[in-house]
Amino acid sequence: MRTSSPLMTLLFGDFGSRVFYALLLAMLIVVPLLNLGVTETSALHLSTYTVTLLGKYLTYALMAVAVDLIWGYCGILSLGHTAFFALGGYAMGMYLMRQIGTRGVYGDPLLPDFMVFLNWKELPWYWLGFNHAAFALLMVLLAPGALAFCFGWLAFRSRVTGVYLSIITQALTYALMLAFFRNEMGFGGNNGLTDFKEILGFDIHLASTRIGLFVASGIALGLGYTACRAIAVSRAGRVVQAIRDAESRTRFIGYRVENYKMWLFTFSAVLSGIAGALYVPQVGIINPGEFGPINSIEVVIWVAVGGRNTLYGPVLGAFVVNFAKTYLTAALPEVWLYALGALFVVVTLFLPQGIVGLVKQLLEKRR
Amino acid sequence: MNTTAPTPAKRGADYFGMPYARLLKRRGSDAQPPELDTSHRTVLYLEDITVSFDGFKALNALTLYIDVGELRCIIGPNGAGKTTMMDVITGKTRPDHGSAWFGQTLDLLAMSEPEIVQAGIGRKFQRPTVFQNHTVFQNLELAMAGDKRVWTILFAKLGALQRERIEKVLETVGLKDQTSLLAGSLSHGQKQWLEIGMLLMQEPKLLLVDEPVAGMTPQETERTAELLLSLAGERSVVVVEHDMDFVRSIAKKVTVLHQGSVLAEGPIDEVQRNPQVVEVYLGE
């Protein structure tokens, strides 16, 4: 089958993308069916816990795609991308907190529990508006986007590159983590935001709501992936890859490298924010731990394991590594971090193109 | 020694590599390239340019003019300041002293690197730096003159006219059969030509070419000489080269640099007979 539209060819032109879209679509149909359509006693029934777990993986995959866009395509190794993920998550968390209303432990109609506990009398100004879903959604996009834009403006214009940039991104997310740990910040400090009741009027604990969130995460991943791929195959995508391969050369043929980096970085941060916002209602909590520098490094490992510079590789990586994490942290909790480190070393040494690269190699050999 | 080299701080620079006043002037200026005015038949004016690195004067009151359509060869021993001169013209290095004008109206010292490129100065580096993971065609497309802002490029479609231009350049540099090969798989000589092709895509008024035939086979060298000769006329070409045979085969006018200033200038035969030149360079 040949598609006639050039856009279709660009988006579905490569094998990996076709597999990605097919699997995602299959997942979005089969998982809800097995959860809602099959009785709980049946062996085929998929528990709501599993649905939520898969939904969480989908948000991770979206984040991995966002990181691949800047790392695989532009060579910007961000070790602080969870900062944007967590900011999107906090924006969503604030909306969910305001939806609790009088159902909190203290029953205060306006103030979230932790503020009552801290003896605060009124809602801080930056919590205003978060009772509206539309405003919260806007903040999900704006908060990470604005931070990334400012960061990018400063870092890329000063021509900070390579390992120095990576270190600054680590510092950024670490600083945010420390800030959000403080009770005075008004984001629930240590405990973060939790005890959510409903989202858009739906009970957050219902299986059907979980399915809705799962599907929403899948759609977000599909759209985010498509957007990244559209950028990657555009002329701007070729400029970005040229920047990755020979930055000063690109500057010399007349491109404002810093602007390209800044916009790409901002777009990637917004995608991460969306991923974070979908993650929070599924796991039911957002706390400063999400800003942890280790988390950001984990994302980079997903991308490396899956195979960077492909966009679909990182999706695979996010699923494989997190599946292993879910399994290992339950079965052999003390082993996980060692396994993760070993995985990274093995991939770096033997699989520079990740799993996807290995598969490609094997296919070529068989031919 | 009575003069101390002015430090960057002294001339009001330079967080971003250029003085603040110039930085402000730069704002939002990546729109359309400014017009080049060569009504006086001179495309490049370098006057009294001095560049010091830690007290060492890479360029010492260098003064040089390039005419419209001229093919000029710059020669000189290692450390004579040839590459630094190119760096000054392209905005990579800011001089401590002196002035650099492109045509009558464009002050090169007040322009950023991309602005200088947009205005029409193209540079070919010593080592071929093509984009290895892009095809030959994509390399030329990347280098094509035009609006290079993020949004325009993101939605840019290759028009028939643009495609034609790329084809034409492919023909000029002789890479028609390699169009869809990755640039990384080209031979050394082909990479050099591709890079010259990329320069041509920028429609430069002034072409700076750094050691174009280093490491080339005799056949490739000959082909390159033809190429450079065919390029002059429509545009000005400045070639920095060590290979004297090559220089003799293409140059009408030669400038000899020595210790950062012009030692001699004129037709190749005249320059070669100049005793000072023989002493510092040719007679080694």
Instruction: Fill in the amino acid letter for B229.
Output: L
For position B128, what pLDDT does the model report? 73
Kindly list the distances between the CA atom of residue A59 and the CA atoms of A16, A153, A243, A259, in Å, as whole numbers in the listed order: 19, 27, 28, 28
For position A197, what pLDDT does the model report? 94
Cα(B230)–Cα(B281) distance, integer angstroms? 29
Q: What is the mean pLDDT of residues A37-57?
A: 92
Chain A residues in contact with B113 (beta carbon < 8 A): 251-252
Looking at B17-157, which runs of residues are DSSP E strands? 42-53, 56-67, 71-75, 97-102, 106-107, 121-124
CB contact at 8 A, A78 and A271: no
Q: Is A7 exposed, middle or buried (CB count within 10 Å of its CB: 0-12, 13-18, 19+)? A: exposed
Searching chain B, which residue's CA lies closest to the CA of residue A244? B131
Confidence of residue B212 (pLDDT cuts 50, 70, 90): confident
Looking at B158-219, which runs of residues are DSSP E strands? 206-210
Cα(B95)–Cα(B89) distance, integer angstroms? 10
Nearest to B142 among A253, A256, A259 (CB): A253
Q: Compute the mean pLDDT over every residue in chain B, rounded to the nearest whole number.
A: 83
Looking at chain B, which runs of residues are DSSP E strands? 42-53, 56-67, 71-75, 97-102, 106-107, 121-124, 206-210, 236-240, 253-258, 261-267
DSSP A182: S
CB contact at 8 A, B98 and B50: yes
Residue A309 placed within a domain: no
For position A201, what pLDDT does the model report? 92
How many domains does one find in chain A? Answer: 1
What range defines the domain where residue A230 resides? 6-293
Searching chain A, which residue's CA lies closest to the CA of residue B141? A235
Q: What is the mean pLDDT of residues B92-104?
A: 92
Give yes or no for residue B27 having a pLDDT over 60: no
Q: Show the tokens assigned to B223.
A: 């082909």
Instruction: Fill in the amino acid letter for A355.
Output: I
Cα(B22)–Cα(B4) distance, integer angstroms? 25
Cβ contact (<8 Å) for A242 and B142?
Answer: yes
Identify the residue whose tokens are 């699923």. A319
Give yes or no for residue A363 having a pLDDT over 50: yes
Residue A284 placed within a domain: yes
Identify the residue whose tokens are 């050099």. B192
Cβ contact (<8 Å) for B90 and A231?
Answer: no
CA nearest B144: which of B117, B112, B184, B125? B117
How far off is chain B from A149, nearest CA to CA, in Å?
15
Give yes or no for residue B5 having a pLDDT over 70: no
Q: What is the mean pLDDT of residues A139-155?
A: 97
Chain A residues in contact with B142 (beta carbon < 8 A): 238-239, 242, 250, 253
DSSP B208: E
Nearest to B117 among A239, A253, A260 (CB): A253
Residue A332 placed within a domain: no
What global pTM score does this model have? 0.84
How far off is chain B from A136, nearest CA to CA, in Å?
27
Cβ contact (<8 Å) for B141 and A235?
Answer: yes
Cβ contact (<8 Å) for B155 and A231?
Answer: no
Cβ contact (<8 Å) for A253 and B15?
Answer: no
How many beta-carbon pairs under 8 angstroms link A with B? 70
Give the pLDDT confidence of A292-347 residue by residue, as tens digits.
Answer: 999 999 999 999 999 999 999 999 999 999 999 999 999 998 999 899 999 989 99
**Which pairs from B22-26 meet CB under 8 Å and 24+ separation?**
B22/B109, B22/B110, B25/B110, B26/B112, B26/B115
Q: Within its chain, how far is the Cα of A98 from the centroid? A: 24
Residue B37's contacts (CB-CB under 8 Å, 6 or more residues apart) are B103, B104, B105, B106
Cα(A272)–Cα(A179) distance, integer angstroms? 20
For position B272, what pLDDT does the model report? 83
CA nearest A272: which of A148, A174, A109, A119? A148
CB contact at 8 A, B249 and B225: yes
Q: Show the tokens assigned to B107.
A: 């002050």
Cβ contact (<8 Å) for B153 and A250?
Answer: no
Give yes or no for residue B29 having a pLDDT over 70: no
Cβ contact (<8 Å) for A253 and B154?
Answer: no
Confidence of residue B31 (pLDDT cuts 50, 70, 90): very low
What angle do the packed helices A293-306 and A48-71 form, to 10 degrees?
A: 80
Q: What is the mean pLDDT of residues B61-68?
A: 92
Give yes or no for residue B30 having a pLDDT over 50: no
CA nearest A100: which of A188, A161, A228? A188
State the pairing for strand pair B42-53/B56-67: antiparallel
Searching chain A, which residue's CA lies closest to the CA of residue B151? A236
Q: What is the mean pLDDT of residues B120-141?
A: 89
DSSP B210: E
How far off is chain B from A49, nearest CA to CA, in Å?
41
Instruction: Fill in the amino acid letter for A360.
Output: K
Q: Where are the alpha helices (DSSP H) in B63-159?
A: 82-89, 113-119, 136-143, 150-154
For position B6, what pLDDT does the model report? 41
CB contact at 8 A, B256 and B91: no
How far off is chain B from A148, nearest CA to CA, in Å?
17
Cβ contact (<8 Å) for A263 and B15?
Answer: no
The vertex-B60 CA angle with B56 and B66, nearest 5°, equals 135
Q: Which carries the bigger pLDDT value, residue B272 or residue A213?
A: A213
Residue A71 placed within a domain: yes
Residue A310's contacts (CB-CB under 8 Å, 6 or more residues apart) are A16, A68, A72, A354, A356
CA nearest A76: which of A198, A159, A1, A8? A159
For position B28, what pLDDT does the model report? 42
Give the pLDDT confidence of A195-246 residue by residue, as tens digits.
Answer: 999 999 999 999 999 999 999 999 999 999 999 999 999 999 999 999 999 9
Give yes or no for residue B25 having a pLDDT over 50: no
Residue to substitute from B16, B30, B115, B150, interface A, most A β-carbons within 10 A: B150
Cβ contact (<8 Å) for B143 and A253?
Answer: yes
Q: What is the mean pLDDT of residues A129-153?
A: 96
Q: Compute the mean pLDDT over every residue in chain A, rounded to the nearest whole number.
A: 93
For position B281, what pLDDT does the model report? 66
Kindly list the distances between the CA atom of residue B87 and the CA atoms of A236, B53, B109, in Å, as whole numbers in the listed order: 27, 13, 11
Searching chain A, which residue's CA lies closest to the CA of residue B15? A158
Backbone angles phi, psi at B78, to 5 degrees: -55, 140
**Buried b vs exposed e over A350-359: b needs ≥16 C-beta within 10 Å?**
ebebbbbbee
For position A256, what pLDDT does the model report? 92
Q: Tell me how crowded residue B65 is: count the other CB atoms within 10 A of its CB.
A: 17
For position B11, what pLDDT does the model report? 39
For position B33, what pLDDT does the model report? 55
The architecture CATH gives domain B36-282: 3-Layer(aba) Sandwich (3.40)
Domain ranges of chain B: 36-282
CB contact at 8 A, A259 and B149: yes
Residue to substitute from A7, A69, A156, A252, interface B, most B β-carbons within 10 A: A252
Give the pLDDT confidence of A172-204 residue by residue, as tens digits.
Answer: 999 999 999 999 999 999 999 999 999 999 999
Confidence of residue A52 (pLDDT cuts 50, 70, 90): very high
Instruction: Fill in the amino acid letter for A358.
Output: L
Confidence of residue B23 (pLDDT cuts 50, 70, 90): very low
Backbone angles phi, psi at B170, to 5 degrees: -55, -40
HSE-CB at B82 with a 13 A cutoff on CA atoms is: 26
For position A260, what pLDDT does the model report? 96
Q: What is the mean pLDDT of residues B139-143?
A: 94
Q: Where are the alpha helices (DSSP H) in chain A?
A: 6-12, 15-32, 48-71, 82-100, 113-117, 133-157, 162-181, 207-233, 235-245, 247-252, 257-283, 293-306, 312-331, 336-350, 354-366
Say how many Å lie between the first and final Cα of chain A, rounded. Answer: 22
CB contact at 8 A, A232 and A70: no
Residue A108 placed within a domain: yes
Residue B78's contacts (CB-CB under 8 Å, 6 or more residues apart) are none
